[in-house]
Structure formats: structure tokens, C-alpha cells
Amino acid sequence: AGIGGFRSGFEANKCKCVFSSEIDEHAGEMYKANYNETVFKDITKIDEKEIPDHDILLAGFPCQPFSIAGEKKGFNDTRGTLFFDIERILKEKKPKAIVLENVKHFKSHDNGNTLKVILNALNNLGYTTSWSVLNAKDFGVPQNRERTIIIGSLNGIKFDFNKLNVQKPICIKDILEEDSGQIEYLEENEYTLIQNPKRQLSGLIFTGYRN
């Protein structure tokens, strides 16, 4: 659950959270501060039958434990990873939809085999899947944060990422105020310019520094 980013987004769209799990102690403390709820801890020790019924499962999981060749073995391919716990919950509770989040490079982890195994496992459980890499800056969030998003549905409908409403990122120049005498201008001997400055992904260009 982290500190509740997934939850905030879905609650803003009239969903109600019925269960959360987060093993990191500090994230759990922040989660409680944000929602006044104590989060369950180690998901590997929680019986899937004791988890409340739900319509949508939201989850993030590490990909580091994966080192497989994508042999479509389902549970055998995912055993020993945190995705195995997502899999057993899906098998027991059968939520209508699932949204998974991971780092950008998840799509190419183990030469793409990890993603292949995840999609095969979801397909074997009856979920129609699609995935894409999304960037927070394209959705009104002031952060350049790319993440692999996987969406699955039990109703046979494939989520179309092309229908998402992408926004033009806001740049610093878009919010700068007019100079009303408050801007400080430096003399040439007071600053040093960087040769061949690089443009950051966020749009920032560090052109120099004050001496």
C-alpha cells in the first residue's frame, strides 16, 4: 500500500478501501497518519480467505526476485515472489479488475520474461490484460515519474490506454510572474555559465551557478 497513493486516487473516484497491506514500518506509520487506519503488515502471512471481498485489487510488487524464462508455469513461475501472493488472492477473491504498478524498467526486466510471466499468470486466472508505461507529468502531477501500469479485467474488455486524457506538462516559464522589480539581475562577474547544459526530463535546464 505504500503511503496510500493508489488509495487516494481511487477514493477520489468514489471507491472505498476495504483492506491494505504494507510491510515497511515507516510507510505504515505515514499511512496511518493519512487515513487514520492501521495497515496490515506482511501479506505473505495473511490468509487470502480472511481478506474482505473486493471489486478491484491494487498492488505494487518488486521484480528483483524474478529470474525465469517465461515457461507459462503459473504458480511455479511466481512462487517465491510477492506476485505469488497477489496471484493467490486473485484466485480466491476473483475481483472484477486489477491494477498493478511497477518501475519503468519492469517491462524489460529479464529481457521481458518477467512481464510475460505476469501477463500469462493473469490470463490463466481469466483476466484480459493490457499494459503501458505512464508518466505522472502527463496527468497534472508536478513530477517526472514513469511507471509500468498493468490493468486486467474479468469481463473480457481490454483497457485502452490510448483513451486516457493526457495533459500538456506545466513548465516553469508557464507560471513565472511578470518582473515587477523583484527579480535580481547579476553582473557577468557574479556567475558562471555551464558549457553545453543538458535539458532535464522535467524540462529544467541548469545553465549556470552563482560564483
In three-state secondary structure terms, 19 is coil
Give the Cα separation of 34 and 82 in Å (integer). Answer: 25
User: Euclidean distance between the first and final Cα of the chain, in Å?
Assistant: 45
Residue 199, φ and ψ in degrees, nearest 5: -80, 125
The set of catalytic residues is: 63
The answer to whether 63 and 82 are in contact (CB under 8 A) is no
Alpha helices in the chain (DSSP H): 5-11, 25-35, 75-78, 83-93, 113-124, 172-175
Q: Do the Cβ atoms of 118 and 143 come closer than 8 Å?
A: no
Please give the grid coordinates belonging to residue 139: 496527468
Helix (H) or strand (E) holding 57: strand 56-60
Let me know how long the chain is: 211
Alpha-helix runs per DSSP H in 20-158 = 25-35, 75-78, 83-93, 113-124
At 122, is the secondary structure helix, strand, or coil? helix
